[in-house]
Structure formats: C-alpha cells, structure tokens
Amino acid sequence: MGHTRGQRPVSAGRDEPGRARTRLVIRMNHRPRTEMDRSMTDPFAKLTHVGPGSPTGEFFRQFWLPIARSSEFEADGAPIRLMALGERLVGFRDSGGRMGIFDHRCPHRCASLFFGRNENGGLRCSYHGWMFDVEGRVTDIPSSAGGRVPTRVRAKAYSVRERNGLVWIYMGSRETPPPLPVIGVVADDEELEIQMWLRECNWLQGMEGDIDAAHLAFLHHGGHDPEDVGEHFVLKWVTSGRAVETKVVNTAGGTMEGHRRPESFAPDYWHYTQQLLPSWTIPGQNPFEVEEPVVRFWLPMDDTHSMIFQLSRPRALVDGRSAFHAGVAELPGVKVRMADLLQPNNDQDWYGRWRLTPSEENNYFLDRDAQAKGNYTGVQGIQIQDKMITESMGPVVDRTHEHLSASDLMVSRTRRRLLKAVDAYATTGDLPATLDDTELTRGLMAGGGHVPEGTDWLQYYRDVAEAAGADPRILESDLVEATEGVGA
Ligand code: FES
Ligand SMILES: [Fe+2]
C-alpha cells in the first residue's frame, strides 16, 4: 500500500546509518507529483478539468459559449475543426447559410467529418457518403442499395446560434437552452469587433491574468515612468503607484474587484473589474466615462488550450490596436499589431485557428537588449506578454506551489466563487441567476472613477452603475465583502 505524499513511511531502515536515511528522504522529495496527488492537495485542480463528465466541464456546458466568429464559415465552404471542453468538433455552414456543429466523428464508422464534403444542403462524409443536415439528421445513405435512411441514427449535433458576429454553442442538458447572455456590449444584435487568439495553457490561469490588477504595473508597464506616459491618466496612475489595495465582492453572477493605488498621484481613483461565470471578464481600462469596456471570454478548448475572445465596439480599436494604447504606442514593449502575428495557414490542425507566431519554442521573440531599455519583459506586445507569462506556468499550473499575497484577492475569491458554483451545480443542479435572467448583467460596468471622500468604494460603484441604468440586483444577491485573507 502507498503512503500520503510528504508523510514518511515507517521504514525498517530508519535506525540504519545516516547515508541510507538520507537517500530515502531525497527520493521521496523528488517523486514526481501525480494527478492524484494534486487533486488531494490543490483545492482548485477540479476547476482545470473540462472534459465530458468532469464537474467543471458539466458546469460550463450549461452556458452558451462563443466558439468561433461567423465570418469563418462560408455557405458550402470547407468544414472547420473546432474544439470545446475537450470535445473535437466540426463546424460548417450549409447551402442555405445555416450553421451546424457536430462531434467530428461520423456516426457510421467514426471517420472524421472534417474530411467531408459540404454540399447540397448538408455535410457528406467522404468515407461512404452518408449525408447529414445541420441538425445531424441523416438525409442520404448512397452506399447501401435499397437501404432506408434511418431516423434513429444522427450525427451528434449541438445547438448553435449566431449573434454579435459570433457563433455560439450550447452543449448542455436542457432541451430548451437558456437565453443567449447579455454582458455589457455583448448584447442584442450589435455587431462587435472580434479578436481571437489561441492561448496554449489551461483556461483558468489565462483568465486569472484579466483579473490580476497588480501585474499591470510590472509585466506591461514596469519599464515605464510617469513622465514617459504623457497625458495618459490611467498609465500615469499605474506607474506612479505600483502597489495596489484591493477589495472584492461576490455578485449574482461572479465577482467584482475594486482597487486603488494609495501611493499614486490619484489615491482616490478606484478601478473596477468584473468576472462573470463561467469565464467572462470585463477588465476595464479607462475611466467610466471614456468608452464601453472590452469584454473577454475564455473558451476552454481542452485542459491545456484556450481560445480568447476579445469583444468590443468597433470604435474601441484605433488602427488595429486597443484605443487604450493607441496614444502610447511608442512606449517600449507596447507597439504591436496582433493581426501581423497570426500564423498563416492556421487551419490545418486542432489547435491551428488564431494561433500566434510568438510561442514557447521561440521564447516569444524575447529581446534581452530591449529588456534593458524600458521594456520590462523584453517581449513585444501586451497580449504576447500575457501569453508568455501564463504559458510559462506550464500547461496546467500546479497551484500547490503558489504563495498568494494580498494583491491576489480577486484571483483567490474568483476561484472560490467558481468552485462554489461548480459544486452547487454538481450537488443540487443550481445554476447562477444570471444564466436565465440576462437583465442582471446588461449594464455591468468596468472602469474607474474618483471616489469622493467619505463614500464607500462599493457605494460609489452602485451610484455610477445606477446612474447608467444598470440593474442594481447584480450587487444585491450574495453580497459578501471579501477583505480577509487570500488563502484557500
Ligand atoms: S464512416 Fe462516415 S459514411 Fe461511413
Ligand atoms: Fe496582462
């Protein structure tokens, strides 16, 4: 029988001379950590598994998930490989313009439908020619003489919708799916500016970068001083006070963080960031009054690959860059056009779509000279810096090695909020109110403002949000101010 990690077994050799004992201890300490060990010691390991049947995977499946952009698919065009929650899928647009997304395995003998023919109102498997409509129904079996078209056999087709220029998939258990979500600018029929990038690591460590206020003043702007950033208020605030004071509340659908920079030139300025279940973030960049904030979604493709969706109104981009950085593009490390970094011919494997050229293999084009001259990382581009740092943790970070500090409060609280929601669904079938009541999240805001003296940070957010017409119930359900420690 084995023993628990870290617990020394009672050994016949324990009274032997020191050499034998030392050898035993060294071997134990260097035993490779197994997945079983991790799940016993890392309370958040559960959140990193998304495949069918896993608690977190089943939780994710109850939500509509963006999976692609509508413009990737042409009527009768080539089928495209897609991945979501550990499942290999194939997407296509039929002759009539309708989208279908299937398990990629043909229900006849499991050949991949990626190699199929998209023609005449359906997808035809190229092995024996079976034909499927977008609902997965078999419409033709040309390979069996006199064979009837069976009604029982179907390709495994998921519910699909299109809105905002996005293709959405529902992989959940309800016969009638919930409504499509409404999250800030991701609403109604508004066509959005969509940017997508593959991130080669687990979704959770990627998403945690969006809600980590502390890293901005280091990873992205550690090499910049207040005098380098001109009239850019937020960057002046960030670079003049690098330490943050952070508070977090649970909301009806996730977590909200507020932080200030007590040593900065504007210590009364608070910035607010939202996380919404399962994996939405509104990091916010500017003061509340400046622009509609960018909304991001992290699609877990499998446990070790994620697709980032960055969604904004078109005016949030200037010359292909975020408006936030457009005025300071000449700062070392900032200037990059993400479109120039996408790999060409990127549809040839399961992880090929929206893949970037800077990667672990080329050290993200790390330039040590640049690192010595004002680019804190030596890596060019804000998104690439985020990619480099979260992928450097390994495909799935082993959180038993972490030591969180006060600035990690939002990361820690969001993990707990997720775990609570996943466990609630697994045990009682309960899901967050925001899944069915989309009005709760319509006016969700991220951004910042000067909190008047004597006003509580949360009251200030409530005042700003209500003035903008946001639904106040988002803060009135499950409201817990989280000011204590960051441990698990
Ligand atoms: S495997 Fe697809 S038609 Fe036979
Ligand atoms: Fe970042």
State pLDDT tens for residues 203-243: 999 999 999 999 999 999 999 999 999 889 999 999 999 99
Q: 3-state DSSP call for residue 100?
A: strand
- What per-residue confidence (pLDDT) applies to 1? 33
Cβ–Cβ < 8 Å for 311, 194: yes
Q: 3-state DSSP call for residue 322?
A: strand
Tens digits of residue pLDDT in 14-73: 333 334 444 444 444 555 566 666 666 888 999 999 999 999 999 999 999 999 999 999
Cβ–Cβ < 8 Å for 433, 475: no
- What per-residue confidence (pLDDT) applies to 26? 41
Tell me how far apart the alpha carbons of residues 235 and 386 are, in angstroms, rounded to a whole number. 18
C-alpha torsion angle, residues 222, 228, 234, 236 (rounded to 10): 90
- Amino acid at the residue 459: Q
Q: Which of 103, 104, 117, 128 has most ligand 1 atoms within 8 Å of its beta carbon, as the pocket-test mutant?
A: 128
Q: Which of 317-326, 343-352, 408-417, 470-479 has the highest mean pLDDT?
A: 408-417
pLDDT > 60? residue 146: yes
| Ligand 1 near 130 CB (within 6 A) | yes
Tens digits of residue pLDDT in 74-109: 999 999 999 999 999 999 999 999 999 999 999 999
| Ligand 1 near 114 CB (within 6 A) | no
Close Cβ partners of 216 (under 8 Å, ≥ 6 residues apart): 238
pLDDT > 90? residue 273: yes
Cross-strand pairs, 449 = 270
Domains and CATH numbers, the chain: 64-170 (2.102.10.10), 193-482 (no CATH)
The residue-averaged pLDDT of 365-394 equals: 96
* Residue 405 burial by Cβ neighbours in a 10 Å radius (0-12, 13-18, 19+): exposed
What's the pLDDT band for 150 if we cut at 50, 70, 90? confident
- What per-residue confidence (pLDDT) applies to 393? 98
What's the pLDDT band for 159 if we cut at 50, 70, 90? very high
- 81, 115, 116, 403 from 348: Cα distances, Å: 8, 11, 15, 40
| Ligand 1 near 125 CB (within 6 A) | yes
Task: Point out the ligand 1 atom lying closest to the alpha carbon of residue 143.
Answer: 3
pLDDT > 90? residue 387: yes
- What per-residue confidence (pLDDT) applies to 43? 86
Number of H helices, E strands in the chain: 11, 21
The residue-averaged pLDDT of 271-288 equals: 95
Q: Which residue has the higher pLDDT, 285 or 393?
A: 393
Best CA proximity match to 85, nearest among 131, 119, 53: 53
| Ligand 1 near 155 CB (within 6 A) | no
The residue-averaged pLDDT of 319-327 equals: 68
The residue-averaged pLDDT of 440-468 equals: 93
Decide: pTM greater than 0.75.
yes
What's the pLDDT band for 486 if we cut at 50, 70, 90? low
Best CA proximity match to 352, nearest among 68, 139, 110: 68
Cross-strand pairs, 295 = 311
- What per-residue confidence (pLDDT) applies to 479? 52
| Ligand 1 near 109 CB (within 6 A) | yes
H helical segments located in 241-340: 323-326
Least confident of 47-51, 182-186, 318-322: 318-322
Cross-strand pairs, 138 = 132
pLDDT > 80? residue 303: yes
Distance 234 CA to ligand 2 centre (A): 15
- 368 alpha-carbon distance from chain centroid: 29
The b/e string for 92-115 (b: 16+ C-beta within 10 A; e otherwise) is bbbeeebbbbbbbbbbbeebbbbe
Distance 129 CA to ligand 1 centre (A): 6
| Ligand 1 near 266 CB (within 6 A) | no
What's the pLDDT band for 7 if we cut at 50, 70, 90? very low
- What per-residue confidence (pLDDT) applies to 48? 98
Distance 114 CA to ligand 1 centre (A): 12
| Ligand 1 near 142 CB (within 6 A) | no
The b/e string for 162-172 (b: 16+ C-beta within 10 A; e otherwise) is bbbbbbbbbbb
Q: Which residue has the higher pLDDT, 359 or 35?
A: 359
Report which DSSP code applies to 378. S
- What per-residue confidence (pLDDT) applies to 30? 53
- What per-residue confidence (pLDDT) applies to 4? 36
Close Cβ partners of 152 (under 8 Å, ≥ 6 residues apart): none
Cβ–Cβ < 8 Å for 42, 400: yes
Distance 207 CA to ligand 2 centre (A): 10
| Ligand 1 near 365 CB (within 6 A) | no
- 411 alpha-carbon distance from chain centroid: 13
- What per-residue confidence (pLDDT) applies to 20? 40
Peptide bond between residue 278 and the one before it cis (omega within 30 degrees of 0) = yes
Tell me how far apart the alpha carbons of residues 435 and 81 are, in angstroms, rounded to a whole number. 28
Q: Which residue has the higher pLDDT, 317 or 18?
A: 317
Best CA proximity match to 311, nearest among 281, 286, 356, 347: 281
Q: 3-state DSSP call for residue 487?
A: coil
Report which DSSP code applies to 244. -
Distance 130 CA to ligand 1 centre (A): 6
Distance 220 CA to ligand 2 centre (A): 7
What percent of the chain has a predicted confidence (pLDDT) above 70?
87
What proportions of the chain, in percent to the nearest 5, are helix, strand and coil? 30, 25, 50
Tokens matching residue 263:
């040593």
